Structure formats: C-alpha cells, structure tokens
Amino acid sequence: MTNVSVIGLGKIGLPLAVQFASKGHQVTGVDINQNTVDTINEGKEPFPGEAYLQEKLQHVINDGKLSATTSYQKAIPNSEVVVIVVPLFVDTEGVPDFAWMDTATQELARHLTKQTLVSYETTLPVGTTRTRWKPMIEQTSGLVEGEDFHLVFSPERVLTGRVFEDLRRYPKLIGALSQVGAKQAQQFYETALDFDDRIDLERANGVWDLGSAEAAEMAKLAETTYRDVNIGLANEFARFAGEHGIDIYSVIEASNSQPYSHIHRPGIAVGGHCIPVYPRLYLWNDPEAEIVRTARATNMTMPKTAVNILDAAHGSIRNQHVVVLGASYRGGVKETAFSGVFPTVEELRTRGALVSVHDPLYSDQELVAMGFAPYQLGENIDAAVIQADHAEYRSLTPKDLPGIKTLLDGRNITDSKTWSGVTHLVIGRPASDSR
C-alpha cells in the first residue's frame, strides 16, 4: 500500500483517485471546492455521466481507502506519491495560463517531504516539467529534485465518460527527470492500474517509459494534434466534395479500406478540453508548424461553413426560427468546453435568424444561463442544426420538429429517408431534398 495524494478532483482527477484507491492504495484527494470535497466524502459523485464512478466511489469511501480535503497540509506530508491533475488554460492567442497549476505546485511544495514522487498528469507544453515545475518546487520546498524528491510527467490519455475503460486500454506513458524517478513512477503505476491485452501493439500494454519528461510531454501533444490535423484534412475534403456533388463519406470509406489511410470524419465543430486546446500548446512550442496552424484555423471555421450551407439551401435564414440541437461538445457528455454550439449560435444570429437551443442533458435554466433561448421538441420551427451527436437525435423525425423545412446534420447521424419533405443536409454530402 502507498499513501497517495491526488490534487484536483475534477472529471479526470476523481476517477484517478478512485482507481488508485480501488487497487489498495490509501488516497487523499485535494480540491479547492469545499462542496466537491463534502460530496465526495459522503460517497456521492459530484458530477454525472462517468461510467462506474458512483459505485466505485461508494466502495472506496466505505472501505476508508479514499478521503477528500481542501487542506494541502493534511494531505501532502503523509504522501509517498503526489499526482497533479489541475487544469491548464489557454487563451485565444494560444498562450497557456499556468495560474491554477502554479498555485497548486507552490502549495504542494510548501508541504513536500523527502522521497516523494511528484507526477504531473495535466497536458503541458514541452519542457514545462523540467524548466517550470522543477525550479518552482525546489525553490519553495528547499528540496533537490533527483535527490530529495523525484519528478515525472505522465499524461492522462482518457475521455470523460469512459475514464476507467481508457485507463485499462491505453499504455501509461511516463517521462522522468532521473532514472530513480522513472523507476519509482513505473512501480507505482504498475500497482495502481490494470491493462487490457492489446495484440495490436508492438510491445505489451502497460507502463511505457519514454526516457524523458520532454518525450512524454510531446507524445500527448502529438497524439491530440494529429487528430486535429486529420479532422482538418477531412473537413477540407468535405468542403470540396460538397461543392462538387461528391459524397465524402463514401470516399473516406473507400480510402480507409487501404491500411495506410486513416481519414477521420468531418463535422460542424471540434470541441472539448483536448483537441481544440493542445494543438495551441504545441504551436506555443513550435510556432513554425504551419500544418498544425492551418488545421486549427480550418476546424474553427466549420460552424460558419455549416451555417453557410444551411443558409444557401434554406433560401435565407433571416427571421427564420432555427434550433441548434446539442449544447454539449459531443454526444452523451454534459460538457460545453469549446463546444460548437457557441460559434454556431453566434453565426446564426449574425445572419438574422431567431435561434434557440435544445439539449437533453441540460435544463432550460442551464441553457438560459449560457445565454440561449431554450427549445422544447414539438415547438414549431423553420430549420434545425444538429451540433452534438446525442443518441436521442438519431431517432428524430419531422414530427419532433413541426414546420421544419431544412435540417443540417452536422454529425451525420440521421438518415435522409426519415426526413421526407425536408431538405436534408450533411457536410460533405450532396443535399437530399424530397419536398
């Protein structure tokens, strides 16, 4: 058993803390939000939607393996391992804002004791672990990295909603500043995680030491930036295909039948905490990466592109009632980080449309708080845009949206045959108009 502290009990940090506790470690979670701490100590999940979290949380709380606190002083001195999962923000210019992480790092450093392993799991620009956290911790604590404590970067590689599944499926990457730190990190994560067999990998699934913190930092940026670039390419293909009466989805299916092609799917927006953000962190390190910059710019224009398609097919949306279906950035997840709903609504309003928003995961009050007029299925409208691929939207019919003349399916989840009498639009696919 190892005494572990997890700093930051959000949608990634709390499942991590529960996972570590479920493997027999004694875990203390630290969070600045007293309500979050109280809720966790009552054995209740503070946010919905994470598979298996409630039952696993209740179990480790009942067993006394997990507790939460707002006090670094109570948690850190007793810890042999400290894992940090505090948010890093990026502004519109791509400049990282380290404020929250700086505060957490300084607080843990004030209470750090010798021979502690400190692991950062928040995605970082390359070089941050060595050039920012190491000197900050040393200066505040008076301890020396590599002798008195050990520092490692080990990026989280999970998606909210399926954290426990992803922890098993993907190798755990580590990159330390010393060989001793790498050994300690490998030993800890091997005891704290389980790994599925992966015959598709060239080496066994498990803890993978990349040899340096910089390599581990870049690996996380590379895998997420690749997705953004690939989606940007798919969106470029979709734009061209749509202009020339070609079905991009049949093209992608054909292309991906060859093992060296892995084209992603186009869509109305790229949202969430990861894909819109981490390419900007990479660009902060590598401003000459024009491919990355172009893909990010392409993906940011997709809401406007989608509204252009809708406007042209509908015959002007000015003074038309248009409902945006989905406030979440992706289906089944109650999260609006960088969601396409915001630029889509803004663009519709710019065109003079009367806009409302629907989402099965959000109440009317929550939608109003975001600045949206809420919509109820069954109310008369003129047009609709599917922004999030919620399962509930797959079975929609014109009866659910009375009066609808034009549907833009920004996620390609509906069947045009269901939409008889409606102009059915999908980005990158010829319009289906059965009116």
Where in the sequence numbering do the catalytic residues fall?
A: 220, 274
Tell me which amino acid residue 43 is. G
CA distances from 428 to 344, 406, 431 (A): 18, 16, 9
Q: How far is CA 420 from the centre of its chain?
A: 36
Q: What is the C-alpha to C-alpha distance for residues 417 and 195, in angstroms, rounded to an integer?
A: 43
Q: What is the C-alpha to C-alpha distance for residues 276 and 300, in angstroms, rounded to an integer?
A: 9
